[in-house]
Each structure stands twice: as C-alpha cells, then as structure tokens.
Amino acid sequence: MGSARSKDALFEAIAVMGKAFASPRRLELLDLLAQAPRTVDELARTSGQSTPNTSQHLQALHAAGFVTRVREGTSVRYALAGEEVLSLWLALRDASVVQLAEVERAAREYLGEEVDAIGRDELITRMRSGEAVLVDVRPSEEFDAGHIEGARSIPLAELEHRLAELPTDREVVAYCRGPFCAYAHAAVRQLRASGRSARRLDEGWPEWRLASRAETPRKAA
C-alpha cells in the first residue's frame, strides 16, 4: 500500500487540471480553441485580452495538459490536446448550467430573448428532405477549420448583405460555437426580421463533431 505522501502527490497532480479551470479567461480560451487552433495574437484579439495575459493563461493551460503548441516562425499556434479535453470542457460547461442557477441567469442576460431551437435529429431529417438550409454564422476561419457537412458559411457580420443567397421557401437553421454563443441567436432574429422562417441549432460545432464521431463505430458495425 502506498504512503499518505504518495497519495497526496497523486491528488495534487490531478488538481493541476482543476486549477487550470479556475479562471474565466482560460475557459473562454478553451471555448475558442474548441472551434479552431489559433495563435496567441489571434486568441488575444478574439477574446479582447492583452497578448501578455493571453500568453500567461495559455501557458497555464499547457502545463495542465489541456492544449498543445507549435511554433510557426515568430508565432505560437495553440490547439486543444485531443477530444478528451474537449469532452471535459463541454461537460463542465453543461454541468454548470444544471447545478448553478447563476450560470443560467447570466446566459439569459448575455444571449437576450430566447429564439426557437431545433435538435440534431430533426435537423438531419429536414436537411435530407430539402426542407431546411443550414448556415454556419461563425467567422470564416472557424468554418474552414471544421463544420457540419452541408452547411453554408455566412458569418454573422456578412448576413445582412448576403440574405439574397438564402431561400425564402425553406427554413433556415443557424448554428455557431455552442449554446452560449450569441451569433446564432442574433442570426435568427435577423432572418425572421427579413421574413424568413428560421431557428437555431441547439448545439454548436464542437458538440456535433463529438456526437458524429461517437456514432461512427455503430454505423460501421
């Protein structure tokens, strides 16, 4: 049987990961990296942090094993360190909504008035029958890094000027980074104001990607 000291060392080692979660800024960086790998400068710009602060947070995430990094010339590009990290982040986020009323209240204040949502299975059925068009309203670099098959890339900032690209006789479904991403909510409001039938997908690209990969073995069998 191991000693009390070795047991403490074990739990202290595990606690390093927990400590890495103890910062809202680091959680935001994980959320951004769930969409696409990015350099320090890109993450700083997207999150509204200074480059030095962003770099410090990324170093803490790297020390905890959450991210990988690769030097590209004078820049360093970070990425999530595998699907286990993505699953862990999504589980923490989803559990916080269930367990902490404050999280749900903060989400409502941030996202504004709720808009109608559609689930994964219904969306797949409606896309196959040609009844729905799927639009990815994230920035184009996130779409390029990975997206739902069959989706069109129309970043929210371009939606107003590209409405003519979308049909008026089919439902438009918008999706973005996940349930706490405001892009899809804003897109649905804008689409409905233009007279189109629209809903948002109740999940984002990271959740869809994990679910699709989980289904792959069953399909192959």
| Residues designated as active site | 176
Q: What is the spatial distance between Cα 51 and Cα 199, in angstroms, rounded to a whole number?
A: 36
User: Can you tell me which residue has the tokens 């202290």?
Assistant: 12
**Residue 208: how many other CB atoms lie within 10 Å:** 20
Dihedral sign from CA coordinates of 155, 160, 166, 172:
positive
What lies within 8 Å, CB to CB, of 130 at 6+ separation is 170
In order of 13, 40, 41, 45, 56, the CA distances from 74 in angstroms are 32, 11, 11, 17, 17
d(CA 27, CA 33): 10
Distance from C-alpha of 190 to C-alpha of 163, rounded to nearest angstrom: 10
Residue 153 corresponds to which tokens in the numbers above? Answer: 């890339």
